[in-house]
Amino acid sequence: MKLYELSLSEGRNVSPFVWRARFCLAHKGLEAERIPISYHDKDQLVFSGQDRVPVLVDGDMVVSDSWKIACYLEEAYPERPSLFGSAAGQGTGLMINKFCDHVLLGSMFLLCTPGTYDVTQDEDKPYFAQSRWEWTGMTIEDIRSMEAEALKRVRSSLEPIRQTLAEQAFLSGDTPAFTDYCVMGGFMWARTTYAPQVLEPDDPVEAWRQRMLDLFDGMGRKTLSLEA
């Protein structure tokens, strides 16, 4: 099994979508050879019919998009620990995925984009800045100047998650599953690109984040990060 993933300077893994896929693979107890891709060698992904990571290759199967990878793993490896628990859990998982993409990553974007630029290889910095300018009409320095507002938005967008984690250990209940990995992808992006603390120390989300960093032999904790 191979997982194509974004790898920036010093091999940093910043993509929230790749992190979702890595956590899902680990939950299933599966190992994949990790193939690093930079912005300048996206043509290595042509075989997948699109140009974004993660891409999972499992024998003859090629699956791109972290949600589709989660669904593929659930279907192909039903005897291993379930990511969703049930059809209703998987259905709701899509809504969680959309919430994470639209609301959580929407607010994380402003916070994490300047640091992502900083750890992007020098040869790719012009492409990165140009593509963000086309999306948002803002330069990297425009976005950097919004840090205080971005932090406020991230903390506010976490409110339903915060209230849930005040009542149970994981977003999926007593043990972690897809919902946790989907949200944690965003926090891995922050951990690898934003040095200050995103969360107050007494935030229930921070206690959960620490538990998530411990999972799978500290997979998230060990990655090269900007956190103190």
- Select from 131, 136, 145, 168 the one that contacts its own copies (CB under 8 A): 168
Give the binding-site size for its own copies (rule: CB under 8 A): 36
- Select from 66, 113, 172, 192 the one that contacts its own copies (CB under 8 A): 172
* H or E stretch at 54: none
Q: Pattern of binders to its own copies over 74-113, x per CB under 8 A?
A: --------xxxxxxxxxxxxxxx-xx-xxx----------
Given the rule CB under 8 A, which of 3-11, 131-139, 145-153, 154-162 is the region that contacts its own copies? 154-162
Distance CA 106, CA 135 (A): 12
In the Cβ-directed half-sphere of 58, how many Cα atoms lie within 13 Å? 15
Given the rule CB under 8 A, which of 71-79, 112-120, 162-170, 192-200 is the region that contacts its own copies? 162-170
Distance CA 208, CA 214 (A): 10
Distance CA 121, CA 77 (A): 37
170 binds its own copies (CB under 8 A): yes
Q: Pattern of binders to its own copies over 177-206, x per CB under 8 A?
A: xxx---------------------------
Distance CA 24, CA 3 (A): 12
Q: Are strands 61-64 and 55-58 parallel, antiparallel or unpaired?
A: antiparallel
Residue of 223, 221, 187 lying closest to 206 (CA atoms)? 187
Q: Which is nearer to its own copies, 16 or 114 (CB)?
A: 16
35 binds its own copies (CB under 8 A): no
Q: How many CB atoms lie within 10 A of CB 215?
A: 18
Binding site for its own copies (CB under 8 A): 82-96, 98-99, 101-103, 159-161, 163-164, 167-168, 170-175, 177-179
